[in-house]
Chain A
Amino acid sequence: FFFLRKLRTATTQPQASLNGDRNSSGSKGKGNPFLVPGATVATIAMLGALHARRMYSDKKIEEARESGIEPELQPDVKAKFLNMLPLRSISRFWGHLCGKELPVWVRPYAHRAWARAFHSNLEEVGLPLKEYASLKDFAIRRLKDGARPINSDPHTLMSPVDGTVLRVGELKEGVMIEQVKGFSYSVSSLLGARSLLPLMAPPAHEDTSCQQENKLSSKSWWRISLASPKLREEPSSPPSPMKGLFYCVIYLTPGNYHRIHSPVDWNVLVRRHFSGRLYPLHSRAIRTIKNLYVENERVVLEGRWQEGYMAMAAVGATNIGSIELFIEPGLRTNLPRKKLVQSEAPQERVYEPQVMLKKGDEVGAFNMG
Chain B
Amino acid sequence: STVVLVFQAPTTSPSSEFSFCVEKGDKIQMGEALGRWHQQ
The chain A residues found within 8 Å of chain B, CB to CB, are: 148-151, 153, 155-168, 170-171, 177, 187, 190-191, 197-198, 204, 241-252, 257-261, 263, 281, 293, 305, 307-317, 320, 360, 366
What are 6 of the A-B contact pairs (CB < 8 Å)?
Answer: A159-B33, A163-B3, A164-B28, A258-B1, A281-B1, A320-B1
Q: Are A251 and B8 in contact (CB under 8 A)?
A: no
Measured in the bound complex, the distance between the Cα atoms of B9 and A310 in whole Å is 9
Q: Are A281 and B3 in contact (CB under 8 A)?
A: no
A162 contact set on B, CB distance < 8 A = 28-30
The chain B residues found within 8 Å of chain A, CB to CB, are: 1-13, 16, 18, 20, 22-40
The smallest beta-carbon distance between A322 and chain B, in angstroms, is: 10
A167 contact set on B, CB distance < 8 A = 24
| Interface of A (DSSP majority class) | strand
CB-nearest residue of chain A to B37: A155
Measured in the bound complex, the distance between the Cα atoms of B3 and A261 in whole Å is 11
Within the complex, which residue of A190, A242, A250 is in contact with B11, where a contact is CB–CB below 8 Å? A242
CB-nearest residue of chain A to B36: A156
CB-nearest residue of chain B to A245: B8
The smallest beta-carbon distance between B10 and chain A, in angstroms, is: 5
Q: Are B28 and A310 in contact (CB under 8 A)?
A: no
Q: Are A250 and B10 in contact (CB under 8 A)?
A: no
The smallest beta-carbon distance between A304 and chain B, in angstroms, is: 9
Q: Are A313 and B8 in contact (CB under 8 A)?
A: no
CB-nearest residue of chain A to B13: A241
A197 contact set on B, CB distance < 8 A = 6
B9 contact set on A, CB distance < 8 A = 157, 243-244, 246, 307-308
Q: Are A315 and B2 in contact (CB under 8 A)?
A: yes
Within the complex, which residue of B4, B10, B31 is in contact with A159, where a contact is CB–CB below 8 Å? B31
A170 contact set on B, CB distance < 8 A = 11
Q: Are A314 and B3 in contact (CB under 8 A)?
A: yes
Measured in the bound complex, the distance between the Cα atoms of B12 and A230 in whole Å is 25
A257 contact set on B, CB distance < 8 A = 29-30
Within the complex, which residue of A155, A160, A163 is in contact with B36, where a contact is CB–CB below 8 Å? A155
A204 contact set on B, CB distance < 8 A = 12
Q: Are A157 and B7 in contact (CB under 8 A)?
A: yes
Q: Are B2 and A159 in contact (CB under 8 A)?
A: no
Q: Are B24 and A166 in contact (CB under 8 A)?
A: yes
Q: Are A246 and B2 in contact (CB under 8 A)?
A: no
A309 contact set on B, CB distance < 8 A = 6-8
> A249 with B39: in contact, given A151-B33, A162-B29 (CB under 8 Å)?
no
Q: Are B18 and A165 in contact (CB under 8 A)?
A: no
CB-nearest residue of chain A to B10: A241
Q: Are A317 and B2 in contact (CB under 8 A)?
A: yes
Measured in the bound complex, the distance between the Cα atoms of B23 and A201 in whole Å is 25
A293 contact set on B, CB distance < 8 A = 2, 4
Within the complex, which residue of A247, A314, A315 is in contact with B6, where a contact is CB–CB below 8 Å? A247
